[in-house]
Amino acid sequence: MPRRRVLVVEDDPAIRRAVVDALRFEGYEPIEEATFAGGRDAALRASVDLVLLDLVLPGGDGLALLADVRLAQPTLPIIILTARGDEADRIAGLRLGADDYLVKPFGIGELLARVAAVLRRSAERPLAVDRIDFAGGAVDLARGQVLLAGGAARALSEKETEVLAYLARAGRVVSRAELLERVWKLPPHAVSTRTIDMTIMRLREKLGDEGAEPRVVLTVRGKGYLFQGRS
Domains of the chain: 5-123 (3.40.50.2300), 131-227 (1.10.10.10)
3-state DSSP assignment of residue 30? strand
Q: Give me the helices (H) in the chain, please.
A: 13-26, 36-45, 62-72, 87-95, 108-123, 158-170, 176-182, 194-207
List, for the chain, all residue ranges whose pLDDT scores fall below the cut of 70: 1-2, 123-129, 188-193, 230-231
Q: Are 12 and 55 in contact (CB under 8 A)?
A: no
The pLDDT value recorded for residue 190 is: 63
The pLDDT value recorded for residue 1 is: 46
- 33 vs 130: CA distance, rounded Å: 35
The pLDDT value recorded for residue 125 is: 55
- 47 vs 62: CA distance, rounded Å: 20
pTM of the model: 0.56
The pLDDT value recorded for residue 14 is: 95
The pLDDT value recorded for residue 22 is: 96
Q: Radius of gyration over alpha carbons of the chain, in Å? A: 20
